[in-house]
């Protein structure tokens, strides 16, 4: 690798770090602000559906750019989605799971302060590891098992810490048990859907953008049905876009585009970089919550957050192969 390529690689790494950190921190903080500010409250179920619509349109554009022209684009959609109904139905599972998960994250953000939400949601590392072992038959290193135990202790400490106000401008009554239960369920669903989706991706040569088109095409109608099942009366009385303003529109785009941007930059980021991004996002969320949401940082919360950050680095650590030991053994034999 020459100097120019090395500099490009380093630049991409720093861009990846900044993008991942901002995406991780902004989603939690923005969701919390949107659900606790004063004024007309938008329906979370409609925001989830609109995010899927934005994601679908974005992925369709990306698939079109990949194919190069309209004819190839239409043929690709026809052969992948219509001609392969069984394969498309396979994507129904993570599609439905992601939809439920995103709705639960709104419940969690409504009931937990941004810092607690950010730390608690790291339990998805534990659930992803669990499903990776069960579904993909992966084996974990001792350091990874230790990291998962440390993560669990850290989240328990954070949840038991009494931090943040119970009253918020929107008037929503805060329920920490409901918030934690929603976050925990979302973590399980995230872990399962992530591993299931990974298995689907590895089992075919279909691009990740086309898979996301399949996901969105299935989740939009399912989401619309769930909107009218859960919030039918409010939608009929006040409209689908009741409570929407520029900030809710920004949140919808952030949720839709954020995941896709992460998918693009993740290939330039190694595990340590991803760990840094997640840890920085937790720190940013804590600092921002103190100023934005009157969050009270306690010693217990800080201890729990530090344990979670340590567990992230431990879990992503990849030990180098023991080459030096082999050399010593060879020298001893000689």
CA distance 146 to 198: 25
Quick count: other Cβ atoms within 10 Å of Cβ 130? 16
Closest to 240 measured CA to CA, from 42, 81, 67: 42
Report the pLDDT value the prediction gives residue 140, as an integer from 0 to 100.
86
Cα 216–222–226 angle (5° rounding)? 130
pTM equals: 0.84
Q: What is the DSSP string of 245-308?
A: -HHHHHHHHHHHHHHHHHHHHGGG--HHHHHHHHHHHHHHHHHHHHHHS-----HHHHHHHHHH
Q: Count each helix (H run) and each strand (E run) in the chain, helices first.
A: 15, 0
Distance of CA 226 to the CA centre of its chain: 21
Quick count: other Cβ atoms within 10 Å of Cβ 322? 10
- Per residue in 150-204, pLDDT (tens digit) is 999 999 999 888 655 566 676 667 788 899 999 999 999 989 988 888 787 777 7
Q: Are 91 and 114 in contact (CB under 8 A)?
A: no
Q: Is 173 helix (H, G, I), strand (E, B) or coil?
A: coil
Q: Which two tokens stand for residue 125?
A: 């590392």
Q: pLDDT by residue for the chain (334 residues), tens digit each?
A: 567 666 776 777 777 778 888 888 899 999 999 988 888 899 999 999 999 999 999 999 989 998 888 888 999 888 888 887 887 788 888 888 989 999 999 999 989 888 899 999 999 989 989 998 988 888 888 888 999 999 999 999 998 886 555 666 766 677 888 999 999 999 999 899 888 887 877 777 777 788 888 888 888 999 999 998 889 999 999 999 999 999 999 999 998 887 677 666 666 666 667 778 888 889 999 999 888 888 888 899 999 999 999 998 888 776 665 554 444 443 343 3
Largest pairwise CA distance in the chain: 86
Q: What is the DSSP string of 17-39?
A: HHHHHHHHHHHHHHHHHHHHSSS
Report the pLDDT value the prediction gives residue 277, as an integer from 0 to 100.
83
């Amino acid at each position: 690798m020459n100097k120019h390529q090395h500099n490009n690689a380093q630049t991409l790494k720093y861009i990846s770090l900044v993008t991942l950190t901002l995406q991780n921190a902004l989603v939690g903080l923005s969701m919390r602000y949107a659900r606790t500010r004063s004024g007309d409250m938008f329906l979370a179920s409609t925001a989830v559906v609109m995010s899927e619509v934005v994601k679908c349109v974005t992925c369709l554009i990306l698939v079109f750019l990949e194919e190069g022209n309209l004819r190839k684009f239409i043929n690709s959609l026809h052969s992948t989605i219509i001609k392969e109904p069984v394969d498309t139905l396979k994507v129904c599972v993570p599609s439905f799971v992601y939809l439920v998960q995103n709705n639960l994250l709104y419940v969690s953000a409504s009931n937990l302060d941004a810092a607690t939400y950010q730390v608690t949601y790291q339990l998805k590392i534990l659930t992803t590891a669990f499903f990776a072992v069960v579904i993909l038959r992966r084996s974990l290193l001792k350091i990874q098992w230790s990291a998962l135990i440390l993560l669990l202790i850290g989240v328990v400490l954070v949840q038991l810490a009494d931090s943040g106000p119970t009253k918020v401008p929107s008037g929503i009554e805060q329920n920490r048990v409901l918030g934690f239960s929603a976050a925990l369920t979302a973590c399980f669903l995230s872990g399962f859907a992530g591993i299931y989706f990974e298995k689907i991706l590895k089992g075919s040569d279909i691009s990740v953008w086309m898979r996301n088109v399949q996901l969105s095409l299935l989740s939009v109608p399912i989401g619309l049905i769930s909107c009218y099942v859960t919030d039918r009366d409010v939608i009929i009385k006040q409209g689908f876009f009741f409570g929407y303003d520029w900030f809710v529109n920004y949140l919808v785009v952030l949720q839709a585009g954020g995941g896709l941007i992460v998918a693009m930059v993740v290939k330039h980021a190694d595990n340590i970089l991803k760990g840094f991004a997640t840890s920085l996002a937790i720190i940013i969320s804590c600092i921002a919550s103190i100023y934005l949401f009157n969050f009270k940082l306690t010693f217990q919360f800080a201890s729990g957050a530090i344990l979670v950050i340590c567990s992230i680095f431990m879990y992503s650590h990849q030990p180098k192969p023991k080459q030096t030991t082999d050399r010593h053994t060879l020298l001893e034999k000689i």
